[in-house]
Structure 1
């Protein structure tokens, strides 16, 4: 037991104020706590600021001894303040009464120390990869298997055309292409009008009204037309493909086809992929024509550019290479949309919840892939189609 420090005297009127005094004694450095360490004595702002500055001037040290016996009254608020000041650890040397020790023991027992947040360790990263890595590899494996099976089915179609499901193929072209013409034309027309009006406001400031033909022609034929058509087809036909095949899974028609020896790829996947590969370039050209028509009407109304001048200047402003590029990447968009839709449709489990989740995933993935592939085409063919 350490030697007791001498008693201290306090000025009159301040005996109730909680405070800590430092003393140098033969036994070492002593921190002596006096006053009433209660919520009532620390309720005023002045008392709290004074105690905070007092505690800041007495930082916790391993070689400092603490004497809590002069404390007149200690409640859980004062004990919590001392325990936090000690950084949730008992000092090496301490003198206190039994009632004060009981309060401090309760505070020390029920005070939870929040663990410090640490970054993921190497083991955590390995576990995360072990959980998500194989799943991504399984998806890549199944998708590559679907592409390989499509290649084999196309080779089978070329070797034996009389065995091909031509009726399914023509029906898919009708559903994916013909029935999509009204909505794609309407959206393309409105996009052309909006783009023409926004562009005309800027071109009029510089007296470059005639360049609206170049802007509309390149942007609509080369980029906006194919991408807009692909997004609409992904939301309309891609979701329909996934829902059709998913319903066949729910109603066990896929299992029945397997039992009867009818291959899923040859009868379900290949007709839809080929139908969209043929329909998408035509829909893209149709959407671009509707958008150009809307832009031509808006240019006539906003900039007094006659439709005759617009039609005569369009071939000079937009080289034919842009049209071939747009149709080529539209065919790629159609193949990817159909493959993604068929993949998610074949992965649907025999319940309605999985059907809805698969349809949503199909549309989102198709639109994302379309935008990524369009960006890839823009980088690869950045020097094609410009005079």
Structure 2
């Protein structure tokens, strides 16, 4: 038996129905946890739950903490019993337990118009984004016109830095993905063409699919995931660290120094990345065709200009420039809308990448409709 162990004693001195429960010892967590005292006391308190007219005397307790007080409070049904004796130092502890009301969650009221409200808020949010995006386009157009009128004071360093980060540093990943896509497309096409004896048409399939569609689309998706997220995160961090506010205080325009250089850089970098991705994809397809169909690289290179008219190459470059501008605008739009907290930064970056890829695919579909009869 440990010294000053928590104990409960039932005193029935009068012999009647009224009983007095006397608590003594140390009712703190370290004492309750020793020798299994907490289990015995909990069982004893539970047996006293439904006993009528019981009196409680806690004045003999040497010290008590929140754990010990909570055991009594639970045994009393979370309300103070009618007959209770407490020491003055215990009053504050049980007063806090008494004032801590049980948390009541608001009852959810489901309405038949809930889906209408959700749809309405979604439409309003979409209109707000479209309005902000159109304003951003107008601001960029004004900044570009200012840049053309005063080229000597333009942000040349920012444009050069963004071309390096968005274009040059993306050469590795675009080359790898383009080469592998070319290998896969050539391998699958060769298996089907061999069945019909159309081995020579592998050049037509690879040339048209890569130069006209896959090359620009692959480069745009990779740039949207890599550079688009970087642009949004950069502007978001500047919002969190209040650098954007500091620029406004110093009279520096966000659009002229931050947004316009990124738009110009991606408009220049994306067509070059499209050319690079096309070349890598065609090299991968040529290597796969050489292995699967025994087509020499010389035959592949000679047949490529005849299989793919030059206008398809022009369409691919035009797609690249358009995709670059759209990625930069979408990334900057969501970057400027980030609130000064870390949760908004992560959510805004994710939304920016998803929206940029979706906009790129929609733009590619528009190009497919407009130039449906060109280049065949």
- Whether TM-score is above 0.5 comes out as yes
Taking the TM superposition and a 5 Å limit, the aligned residue runs for 1:109-148 are 127-128=117-118, 130-148=120-138
Query: Following the alignment from structure 1 to structure 2, what is the Cα–Cα distance between the partners of residues 322 and 261?
Result: 45
The equivalent position to 2:196 in structure 1, one of 186, 197, 206, is: 206
Tell me the equivalent position of 1:380. Answer: 370
2:342 matches 1:347: no
Tell me the equivalent position of 2:139. Answer: 149
Question: Which deviations, in whole Å up to 9, do the C-alpha atoms of 1:125-147 show, x marking residues without a partner?
Answer: 76445433322221111111000
TM-score by length of 1: 0.67
1:215/1:142 Cα in 2 relative to 1: closer, same or farther (>3 Å)? Answer: same
Taking the TM superposition and a 5 Å limit, the aligned residue runs for 1:1-387 are 127-128=117-118, 130-386=120-376
Query: Following the alignment from structure 1 to structure 2, what is the Cα–Cα distance between the partners of residues 360 and 128?
Result: 22
**3-state SS of paired residue (1:385):** coil
1:257/1:300 Cα in 2 relative to 1: closer, same or farther (>3 Å)? Answer: same
TM-score by length of 2: 0.69
Give structure 1 stretches of 5+ with no counterpart.
1-116
Question: Which deviations, in whole Å up to 9, do the C-alpha atoms of 1:319-360 show, x marking residues without a partner?
Answer: 000000000011000000000000111011111111000100
Query: Following the alignment from structure 1 to structure 2, what is the Cα–Cα distance between the partners of residues 186 and 153?
Result: 36
Question: Which deviations, in whole Å up to 9, do the C-alpha atoms of 1:137-183 show, x marking residues without a partner?
Answer: 21111111000000100110011111111001001001111110011
Query: Following the alignment from structure 1 to structure 2, what is the Cα–Cα distance between the partners of residues 271 and 193?
Result: 36
Query: Following the alignment from structure 1 to structure 2, what is the Cα–Cα distance between the partners of residues 289 and 141?
Result: 39
1:246/1:202 Cα in 2 relative to 1: closer, same or farther (>3 Å)? Answer: same
Query: Following the alignment from structure 2 to structure 1, what is the Cα–Cα distance between the partners of residues 357 and 129?
Result: 18
**3-state SS of paired residue (1:173):** helix
Query: Following the alignment from structure 1 to structure 2, what is the Cα–Cα distance between the partners of residues 152 and 263?
Result: 12
Tell me the equivalent position of 2:13. Answer: none
1:351/1:310 Cα in 2 relative to 1: closer, same or farther (>3 Å)? Answer: same
Shift of 1:265: 0.4
CA radius of gyration, larger in: 1
Query: Following the alignment from structure 1 to structure 2, what is the Cα–Cα distance between the partners of residues 131 and 322?
Result: 42
Query: Following the alignment from structure 1 to structure 2, what is the Cα–Cα distance between the partners of residues 382 and 137?
Result: 31
Give structure 2 stretches of 5+ with no counterpart.
1-109
Query: Following the alignment from structure 1 to structure 2, what is the Cα–Cα distance between the partners of residues 130 and 371?
Result: 26
1:127/1:191 Cα in 2 relative to 1: closer, same or farther (>3 Å)? Answer: closer
1:310/1:138 Cα in 2 relative to 1: closer, same or farther (>3 Å)? Answer: same
Query: Following the alignment from structure 1 to structure 2, what is the Cα–Cα distance between the partners of residues 270 and 276?
Result: 10
